[in-house]
Structure 1
């Protein structure tokens, strides 16, 4: 993947996909007992920050793994 634009587009797409997956997974957790007002804007921001905190390292791992696997054929050069 030598095209920087294609790599940037792929990176944006992967980060968005993993953010959506993290948001979806967090919806399955019962936070209502931990939060005073689960429907408040603060609770929504907490969900957002947790989704970002979970999705960023997962997406970074996936992209690193992809780049490393694409670099493996260079061993035989």
Structure 2
């Protein structure tokens, strides 16, 4: 039971970490020059949604990579 709690905590930390990193990276792009923003609040929501999506994708990749590396041990047995 304790292993599931640690895995859940690691998953949540990865989700938040990669979402923060993607939000930080998207802030540097200055998409308002490309998108011709008419409503700044909609632009901010779009940036947050892009950050959540990119953070989820990158953290899922990272967690699956760790899981697959762990499962390589079964191949050697």
Alignment TM-score > 0.5, same fold: yes
Segments of 4+ moved more than 4 angstroms: none
SS of 2:32 mapped into structure 1: coil
User: How many pairs does the alignment contain?
Assistant: 75
CA displacement 1:14-63 (0-9 Å, x = unmatched) = 1111001100000111122223246x221111010010121111110100
CA RMSD of aligned residues (A): 1.6
Is residue 35–residue 43 contact of structure 1 (8 Å, CA) maintained in 2?
no
TM-score (norm 2): 0.86
TM-score (norm 1): 0.86
| Structure 2: runs of 5+ lacking an equivalent | none
